Chain A
Amino acid sequence: MSAPSGAGARDQVGRMLALVPYLNARGSVHVDEASRDLGVPAQQIVQDLRVLFLCGLPGGYPDDLIDVDIEALTDADGDGVIRMSNADYLSRPLRLAPTEASALVVALRVLDADPGLPEATRASLHSALAKLEGALGQDRPRIEAGDTDPGQRDLDELAGRVEDALAAGEQLRITYHVPARDELVERTVDPWALVRRGGVAYLEAWCHLVSDERSFRLDRVHHAVRLTTPVEHRRPPVAVPDGQDPAGEQDQGATPGDVFPRADETLLATLRLAPPARWVPDYYRTEAVRPQEDGTLEIDLRVADPRWLERLVLRLAPHATVLDPTSVSEQVTASAQRTLRLYEGGRVG
């Protein structure tokens, strides 16, 4: 092996600590079967056995060493069966390391969160999880993948349908929501790829409604129906420069599914954020963040659509103020007054 030290030796010892009890429990086993059971290439198993052959009880007498019939594995006329003896003290595998236990338990919980899991499989999953947790005992997993909320599950289900359409090379009819305009539009698309950026899934596709390529945020697709029609437009070989979201931050919401605006088409806005709204620069790409002495933040951000900004500020009410442009701040005030009149009218009426 080329690894001079470190990881190579550690990994090999880890494998051997599973290989020895595995062989102890079975007496003799063909190297291919061991390879299949343990998920270790046969060649690697033979290499590991060559090292084990040199190990044993302290004392150094031949009787103290682990006995392996190496010739059966390496000679041209060998039968390929591993026979090992003299390693009774390693009859059980090493217990699971905390990271291994966490990784397994969390993976099972994530599988369990899928509402589409067949009931029989779920029952096996639960009993396996209970047995594992019984054996691992003491420690809670240190990783928490979060409760998968129903919205996330819908999204997973949607992603599955998109993947199926991609695999089949078929068109999709999607109902797409653009929050900045609060509009819901049905579009027929030729799906090209499902990609994830900054924790958000996007469908990249050719959109027949606008006869151009578009990127759709999956969580804004309210419905998707697979059509049996094959796709008409394939992705051009050159990657689409999407000019969006290089930092992996969330997009502003107005743009995917629309034209990606060029920088000179956008508006530079300045907001003041009170502490409850300080998360905003975490989620939206900002040009500048200026902490103020009173605990507020002043941020500059580029906005493709003033309506998006108006909605954001209303959403954050009363913790965000538009300092610039004043046209947007006037819009926000007018919208709040209009809305309040509906409440007052409602009370009277």
Chain B
Amino acid sequence: MSSARSERLMKLLIMLLVQRQYVGKDRIREALYPGTGDEAFERMFERDKDELRSLGVPVETGTHDAYFDDAQGYRVRPDAFELPEVVLTSAEAAVLRVATQVWQTTRLADATRDGLRKLTAGGAPVALGDDAASDLGVRIPLLGAEEPSFDVFVEAAHVRSEVVFDYRGTQDVAARRRRLQTWGVVRHGGRWYAVGRDPEVPLGPDEDGRRVFRLSRVVGQARTQGRRDAFDVPADVDVREIARRIAPPARSGAPAVLLVRQGAGFALRRDAAEVTPGVRGPDGGEAWDRVRLPWSGEEVARTVLEHGADVVVEEPPALRDQVVTALREIAGPGETPGPGEESR
């Protein structure tokens, strides 16, 4: 029955927590696993330790006996176990309470509540069970993940276990078995990606095995394999930074000045800082507007190209050159003026 198991886990924790020194395996076995055979004890004890660790209990292994260094013992240091003091005002507690409603995936919604329950237990005035307290007049943004493997990767990133999964990349005809030491899970454009290292890639001067997998391309069920704390995340890895690299900011670069045909270019007009209607266009006609954008990054270049003869770049020169170069490459050797000289 589960309550017998809870009882044993609790007793084990208390035993390891109150002792100043490592507690020997034999003593633990005598006190909490009486009457078990060698094999059964080992199995139960391993599972119990794992269970406590999965709750976040820092179970340390070591030895206190200088003469018998094979006598392995266990302990939980109170300073590593205990939540540091966090004194929260009731306003801060109210915001934290609202935070419990953001996550839409079960695992992280539970994790948020469990974390907050610990703060409440430590004295924070949170009132987790009081639904009336949740209304701060705040529109709560919802953070979800449709990808079934999301929780597996998130958990693996936190306990640092390896994940095994089948993945069908853009260029794969069929799904392929992959492994990943997950450093983090990042969102971009409404999709989640796992970032980490492929342990099968040997490290080299130009290769660090860094990989990004789109979770919606994981086929079937991902699972963790092997032990916890199986790898270290390199100190210089910042998942926020990697997220930014996956998603180079669309809105960068010098301000852009565009000529946009009237009745067209709505995607660009939407972001305009200023629109001057009825200006002379590149065809000599007046049915054009001058549209100023606060930026001119890659996304602007792509959007301008998409609009074909409805949009012409005036500024900045880099954007103009990028667009003209791309158009020349696809226009072919037709009857257009040759590249370069005579137009400059």
Contacts and interface: CB of A to CB of B under 8 A. Distances in A.
Interface of A: 1, 3-6, 8-10, 12-22, 25, 35-40, 47, 50-52, 54-58, 60, 89-90, 92-104, 106-108, 110-111, 113-114, 116-118, 120-121, 124-125, 127-128, 131-132, 134-135, 140-147, 149-150, 156, 160, 177, 179, 182-184, 196, 198-200, 222, 248, 278-279, 281-282, 289, 291, 297, 310-318, 321, 332-333, 335-349
* Majority secondary structure, A binding face: helix
A4 B173 CA distance: 43
6 contacts: A1-B3, A13-B13, A134-B86, A291-B171, A335-B309, A336-B330
Given A107-B103, A118-B138, A12 B6 contact: yes
B127 A37 contact: yes
A344 B343 contact: yes
Contacts of B140: 111
A315 B328 contact: no
Given A50-B3, A95-B83, A128-B92, A179 B138 contact: no
Given A37-B126, A333-B334, A96 B95 contact: no
B123 interface: yes
B302 interface: yes
A131 B92 contact: yes
Given A95-B82, A97-B56, A248-B216, A128 B171 contact: no
Interface residues of B, number: 136
Interface stretch (B66-74, B197-205, B263-271): B263-271
Interface in B218-257: 238-240, 242-244, 247, 249-251
B247 A146 contact: yes
B5 A96 contact: no
A314 B308 CA distance: 7
Given A297-B171, A338-B308, A184 B266 contact: yes
A19 to B, nearest CB: 7
Given A111-B140, A333-B330, 11 more contacts: A1-B3, A18-B120, A51-B7, A93-B82, A103-B103, A143-B186, A144-B187, A147-B243, A199-B190, A336-B331, A346-B282
Contacts of B108: 99, 103, 143
Contact of B282 (A93, A120, A182, A342): A342
B244 A147 contact: yes
A121 B121 contact: no
B81 A349 contact: no
Contact of B188 (A96, A106, A146, A310): A146
A124 B89 contact: yes
B266 A100 contact: no
Nearest to B331: A336
B168 to A, nearest CB: 10
B35 interface: no
Given A108-B95, A121-B138, A282 B264 contact: no
A6 B48 CA distance: 10
Contacts of A18: 117-118, 120-121
Given A92-B82, A103-B111, A314 B306 contact: yes
A281 B170 contact: yes
A317 B330 contact: yes
A100 B112 contact: yes
Nearest to B150: A143
B10 A55 contact: yes
Interface in B85-111: 85-89, 91-96, 98-100, 102-103, 107-109, 111
B187 A317 contact: no
B39 interface: no
Nearest to A145: B187
Contact of A5 (B5, B129, B305, B308): B5
B293 interface: no
Given A1-B3, A135-B84, A146 B122 contact: no
Contact of B239 (A3, A142, A177, A198): A142
B155 A58 contact: no
Contact of B137 (A98, A118, A337): A118
B329 A16 contact: no
B336 A1 contact: no
B61 interface: no
Contacts of A345: 282-284
A9 B143 CA distance: 29
A179 B268 CA distance: 11
B265 A37 contact: no
Choose among B107, B140, B282 the residue with the greatest number of A CB atoms under 10 Å from its CB.
B282
B103 A95 contact: no
A317 to B, nearest CB: 4
Contact of B15 (A58, A179, A333): A58
A128 B10 CA distance: 31
Choose among A58, A108, A278, A282 the residue with the greatest number of B CB atoms under 10 Å from its CB.
A58
A57 B324 contact: no
Interface in B175-206: 182-191
Contact of A347 (B11, B85, B154, B343): B343
Nearest to A127: B92
B303 interface: yes
Contact of A177 (B84, B91, B267, B310): B267
Contacts of B18: 57-58, 89
A320 to B, nearest CB: 9
A111 B95 contact: yes
B43 interface: no
Contacts of A179: 267, 306
B332 interface: yes
A20 B120 CA distance: 12
Contacts of A143: 108, 154, 157, 184-186, 239
A132 B84 CA distance: 10
Contacts of B129: 35-40
B50 to A, nearest CB: 10
6 A-B pairs with the lowest CB-CB distances in the bound complex, closest first: A199-B190, A39-B128, A100-B115, A318-B329, A97-B56, A8-B2
